[in-house]
Structure 1
Amino acid sequence: MRFNHIGYVVSDSDATAVAVKPFFPVIVRYKEYIAAQKVFITLLATADGDSQIELVEPLENNLPLRELLVKSGKSSLPYHICFEVNNFDEQFKIMKTAGWIVLTRPFNAFNSSHRASHLYHPDAGVIEIMTGPL
Structure 2
Amino acid sequence: MGVTLRRITEDDLEMVMNWRMSESVTKYMNTNPKLTLEGQKKWLAAHNDDKTVRDWLILVDSVPAGVINLADLRLSEGTTSWGYYIGEDSLRSLKLAISLEMSLYDYCFDILGLEEVHGQIFKLNEGVWKLHVACGCEVVDEVEGEVEKEGVKYDVVHTSITREKWLKLRESKKYDKINFDCFNDPIGGMKVHHLGIAVSKMDDSIKTYEGLGWVIEGSITDDEVRNVRIAFLKHGITGEMIELISPNGEDSPVTETLKSMKNVATPYHICYEVRDFDKAIEILKGRRFVLTDGAKPAPAIDGRRVAFMLHRNAGLIELLEEK
Q: TM-score, normalised by structure 2?
A: 0.39
2:255 partner amino acid? R
Q: Distance in 1 between matches of 2:312 and 2:227?
A: 24
Q: 1:99 corresponds to which residue? A: 288
Change (3 A) 1:75 1:30: farther
Deviation string, structure 1 residues 43-96 (Cα, Å, up to 9, x no partner): 000114620110011111434421111121133110000111000000011111
Residue 269 of structure 2 is matched in structure 1 by 80
- Structure 1 residues 38 and 57, CA gap change in structure 2 (3 angstroms): same
Under a length normalisation based on structure 1, what TM-score does the superposition of the two structures give?
Answer: 0.89
- The 3-state SS of whatever aligns with 1:92 is helix
Runs (4+) of structure 1 moved beyond 4 Å?
A: none
In structure 2, what is the Cα distance between the partners aligned to 1:93 and 1:24?
38
Aligned partner of 1:68 among 257, 264, 278: 257
Q: For residues 45 and 32 of structure 1, what CA distance do their matches in structure 2 show? A: 16
Q: Which amino acid aligns with 2:239?
A: D
Question: Residues of 1 paired with 2:229 and 2:219: CA distance?
Answer: 8
Shifted more, 18-27 versus 87-96: the winner is 18-27
* Distance of aligned partners of 1:101 and 1:24 in 2 relative to their CA distance in 1, 3 Å threshold: farther
Gaps of 5+ in 1: none
Higher relative strand content? 1
Alpha-carbon distance in 2 for matches of 1:73, 1:54: 20
Q: Which residue of 2 aligns with 1:44?
A: 233
| Greater RCO (Cα-Cα under 8 Å, separation 6 or more) | 1
Work out the number of aligned pairs and report it. Answer: 132
Aligned counterparts of 2:226 and 2:252: Cα–Cα separation in 1: 11
- Give the SS at the match of 1:11: coil
